[in-house]
Every structure is written in structure tokens, then in C-alpha cells.
């Protein structure tokens, strides 16, 4: 495999796999990560489920996450790291961001309606939410590979409630990333369209991070293609990245 070879695969849910020479990485795995290094963005929204399963199976996954997530998962059951950290020559950095509220007024009505249609599933998810710790924030990731190229994963940080000063800081810090991954929360397409071009990503993958979870909750979903088309109209080198899709860069 070439030293310049990187394969980015969407595994479903919010799980994004990075296959490269040496150690491979997986963001927010939904299944036990095996020998891959797991980068867990948060404990909410099912981001930590794969690592939780690995711990229950008595594996010792290698995990990079914030302090509160590592403490909640149980550091003694992990090979635990907090960013910044260097693993197999890859410098891993992370920056917290303010998530979109769990439910805006309109979204709250949708979630109540979905819960009434599927009360057992809604009850299970509510029980899980009540077991999660309070506080903390999801993370934006930056991986700098040994050759100096950078991959930035913005998660769902670009939304209408984001602090404009945080957006400006992030655009400066992550400007010109070789690969820029970004999700869009439901009804937040306008914010992504407004802010994403300012990052100057060389290759932009618009990753589907929320549709599978919303489908499980019987909530509405949106296709990524119209948003990708609008970004392309703004001269952004944007591509859709949905479950099962893969991109190889050599």
C-alpha cells in the first residue's frame, strides 16, 4: 500500500473509517473497533456504542476522547488517550463545540409524535439518555498525517445556534484541510451552506451523521445531494458520503 494511500469509508450511523498504512482509525464506531483506534466524539447520539460493546465483551479498545467520555466508559477498561496525542505518527487534536439543542420547538413536536407512534423504542432511548453523564461537549477532530496532510472532521458543529466567534476561530484553525468532513443536522442546511465554504477544504465530504438515527426514531430525513449541489455551485469540491460509500485518495 502506498504511503499516500487513504481510504475513507462510511460504515453507517456516524461511523467513519480511515484505512491507511499502519494503524487505521474509526470515528464513533457503532460496532467494536477491533484493532482500529476509536475516536469517540461524544457519548450522546450513539457515538460511543461500539466502544461500550467492546468493553462489555472484555476487549481493551484503544480510544481517544475527552476526559468525561473516558471516565464514563471506564479508563481501566481502555487504552485511553486525551487529545492532543500522537499515535503511529498521526497527530490527533480535538476542539469542543456547542451542539444543536436536543429539540428545537419544531423538532420537539416531531419527537413527541414519533414517541407516540413507537413508545417502546422511545422508552429505551429515553432510559439510555438518563444514564448518560451531564455536561461535556462533542468534538471537532484534526488529524495530521506523517506527510503533513490534514483531515478535519467538523461533526455537526455548523448550525444556526453556533457562536459566530467560534465559527471564525474554526475557519482560521482548520483552513485549507486536505480532507474536510462535515455533517448537517436536520433543518440546519442553511448554516452549513453559509459557513462551510469559509473553511477552504481541498476535498469536502458531506457525511450523513444523523439520518440513520432519525429513521430509527421515525423522524423525517433529508437527502444530502441537494446540499452538495449547492456547495458545488459555490465552487466547493464537495461530495456526498452516505452509509456504504467509500473514497480512496492516492
Residues 57, 250: Cα–Cα separation, whole Å = 36
Q: What CA–CA distances, in Å, run from 61 to 20, 41, 48, 131?
A: 19, 15, 12, 22
* Domain region containing 62: 6-249
The CATH number of whichever domain residue 165 belongs to comes to: 3.60.15.10
1 in a domain, yes or no? no
What H or E segment, with its residue span, contains residue 38? Answer: strand 37-39
- CA end-to-end span of the chain: 10
190 in a domain, yes or no? yes
* Pairing outcome for strands 25-27 and 15-19: antiparallel
Give how many domains the chain has, as a whole number.
1
55 in a domain, yes or no? yes
DSSP, res 89 = T
pLDDT tens, N- to C-terminus, the chain (250 residues): 345 699 999 999 999 999 999 999 999 999 999 999 999 999 887 899 999 999 999 999 999 999 999 999 999 999 999 999 999 999 999 999 999 875 555 554 444 444 445 555 545 555 455 566 666 799 999 999 999 999 999 999 999 999 999 999 999 999 999 999 999 999 999 999 999 999 999 999 999 999 988 887 778 899 999 999 999 999 999 999 999 999 999 8
Residues 6+ apart with CB under 8 A from 169: none
The distance from CA 12 to its chain's CA centroid, rounded to whole angstroms, is 11
Amino acid at each position: 500500500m502506498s504511503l499516500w494511500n487513504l481510504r475513507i469509508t462510511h460504515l453507517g450511523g456516524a461511523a467513519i473509517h480511515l484505512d491507511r498504512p499502519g494503524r487505521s482509525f474509526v470515528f464513533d464506531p457503532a460496532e467494536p473497533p477491533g484493532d482500529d483506534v476509536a475516536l469517540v466524539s461524544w457519548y450522546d447520539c450513539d457515538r460511543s456504542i461500539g466502544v461500550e460493546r467492546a468493553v462489555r465483551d472484555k476487549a481493551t479498545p484503544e480510544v481517544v476522547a475527552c476526559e468525561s467520555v473516558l471516565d464514563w466508559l471506564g479508563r481501566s477498561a481502555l487504552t485511553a488517550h486525551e487529545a492532543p496525542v500522537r499515535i503511529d505518527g498521526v497527530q490527533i487534536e480535538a476542539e469542543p463545540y456547542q451542539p444543536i439543542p436536543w429539540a428545537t420547538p419544531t423538532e420537539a413536536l416531531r419527537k413527541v409524535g414519533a414517541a407516540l407512534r413507537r413508545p417502546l423504542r422511545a422508552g429505551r432511548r429515553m432510559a439510555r439518555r438518563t444514564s448518560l453523564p451531564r455536561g461535556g461537549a462533542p468534538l471537532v477532530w484534526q488529524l495530521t498525517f506523517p506527510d503533513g496532510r490534514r483531515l478535519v472532521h467538523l461533526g455537526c458543529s455548523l448550525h444556526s445556534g453556533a457562536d459566530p466567534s467560534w465559527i471564525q476561530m474554526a475557519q482560521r484553525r482548520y483552513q485549507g484541510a486536505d480532507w474536510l468532513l462535515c455533517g448537517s443536522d436536520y433543518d440546519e442546511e442553511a448554516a452549513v451552506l453559509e459557513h462551510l465554504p469559509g473553511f477552504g477544504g481541498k476535498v469536502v465530504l458531506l457525511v450523513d451523521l444523523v439520518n440513520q438515527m432519525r429513521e430509527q426514531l421515525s423522524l423525517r430525513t433529508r437527502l444530502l445531494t441537494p446540499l452538495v449541489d449547492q456547495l458545488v455551485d459555490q465552487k466547493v469540491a464537495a461530495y456526498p458520503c452516505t452509509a456504504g460509500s467509500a473514497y480512496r485518495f492516492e
